[in-house]
Amino acid sequence: MMYLRTPQSEPERKTSPLALRVSIITGLAVAVFAVLFLRLWYVQILSGDKYRTEANDNRIREIRVQAPRGDILDRNGKVMVANRTELAVEVSPQDLPEPGPTRRREMHQLAAVTGMTPVEIHKALQNPERAAPGGPVVLKKGLGVDKVYYLRENQSSFPGVSVERVFTREYKDGTAAAHLFGNVGEVTAEQLKQPRYAGLHQGDTVGQSGIEYEYDRFLRGKPGTDRVQVDALGRPTEQLRNKPAQAGDDIRLTVDSGLQSYGEGALSSFGLPGAFVAMNARNGEIYAMGSAPTFDPSIFTHPITQSEYHALTSRKTDAPLADRAIQGLYPTGSTFKMITATAALQNHLISPNAIFNDTGSLRIDNNQVLHNAGHAINGPVDMSDALKVSSDIYFYKLGMEAKASKGGGMIQDWAKQYGLGERTGIDLPAEVDGLIPNPAWRNRLYQEHLTDRPWTVGDNINLAVGQGDLEADPLQMAVAYAALGNGGTVVTPHLGDDVETATGRILEEIRPAARRHLDISPTTRDTIMSGLTRAAMEPGGTSYPVFGHFPFDVAGKTGTAQRPNQADQSWYIVLAPAKNPQIVVAVTLERGGFGADTAAPVAARILEHYFKLPITPAASSTTSSGGTHE
Share of the chain above pLDDT 90, in %: 62
Higher pLDDT, 106 or 295: 295
The mean pLDDT value for 162-187 works out to 90
Note the Cα 65 to chain centre separation in Å: 26
Surface-to-core class of residue 143, CB atoms within 10 Å of its CB (0-12 exposed, 13-18 middle, 19+ buried): buried
Confidence check: pLDDT of 282 > 90: yes
HEC string for 259-303: HHHHHHHHHHCCCCCEEEEEEECCCCEEEEEEEECCCCHHHHHCC
**Average pLDDT of the segment spanning 420-428:** 97
- Using the predicted structure, report yes or no on whether residue 219 has a pLDDT greater than 50: yes
Between these two residues, 626 and 445, which has the higher pLDDT value? 445
To the question of domain 62-253 being in CATH 3.90.1310.10, the answer is: yes
Q: Is residue 300 over pLDDT 50? A: yes
Q: What is the mean pLDDT of residues 64-79?
A: 92
Looking at residue 173, its pLDDT comes to 94
One-letter amino acid for residue 551 of the chain: P
What is the pLDDT at residue 9?
46
d(CA 30, CA 40): 15
Inter-residue contact 251 to 496 (CB < 8 Å): yes
283 pLDDT more than 80? yes
pLDDT tens digit string along 244-257? Answer: 888 999 999 999 99
170, 69 in Cβ contact below 8 A?
A: no
Instruction: Give the pLDDT of residue 59.
Output: 61
Q: What percent of the chain has pLDDT over 70?
A: 87
> Which of these ranges, 121-135, 331-345, 463-477, 610-624, has the smallest mean pLDDT?
121-135
pLDDT of residue 58 exceeding 60 = no
The residue among 551 and 303 whose pLDDT is bigger is 551
Work out the average pLDDT over 258-263: 98
Query: What is the model's pLDDT at position 43?
Result: 57
Q: Is the dihedral of CA 349, 352, 354, 356 positive or negative?
A: positive
- Average predicted confidence (pLDDT) for the chain: 87
Strand partners, 277: 289, 586
pLDDT-based confidence at residue 202 (cuts at 50, 70, 90): confident
Instruction: Give me Rg for the CA atoms of the chain.
Output: 37
Q: What is the DSSP letter of 361?
A: E
At residue 524, the pLDDT reads 98
Domain chopping of the chain, boundaries: 62-253, 257-309+329-501+511-622
Residue 622 has a pLDDT of 44
Confidence band for 53, pLDDT divided at 50, 70 and 90: low
> CATH classification of 257-309+329-501+511-622 is 3.40.50.300, yes or no?
no
Mean pLDDT of 406-426: 94
Q: Which residues in 51-63 are b (16+ Cβ under 10 Å) and which e?
A: eeeeeeeeeebeb
Cis peptide upstream of residue 522 (ω within 30 degrees of 0): no
Please report which helix (H) or strand (E) contains residue 607, including its range: helix 599-610
Residue 20 Ramachandran class (φ > 0 left, ψ -120 to 50 alpha, else beta):
alpha
What local confidence, expressed as pLDDT, does residue 560 receive?
A: 97
Mean pLDDT of 350-366: 93
The model's pTM is: 0.84
Which has more pLDDT, 216 or 56?
216
Least confident span in 19-33, 194-208, 289-303? 19-33
**76-135 residue pLDDT tens:** 999 999 999 887 788 877 778 888 888 888 888 888 888 888 888 877 777 655 444 455
Does the pLDDT value for residue 57 go beyond 60? no
Mean pLDDT of 152-156: 78
What pLDDT, in 10s, does the model give residues 437-446? 999 999 999 9
Is residue 230 predicted with pLDDT exceeding 50? yes
Distances (CA, A) of 78 to 57, 82, 167, 209, 263: 47, 11, 20, 22, 18
Q: pLDDT value at position 8?
A: 47
- For the ranges 41-45, 456-460, 549-553, the lowest mean pLDDT is seen at 41-45
Q: What pLDDT shows up at residue 135?
A: 59
- How high is the pLDDT of residue 26? 77
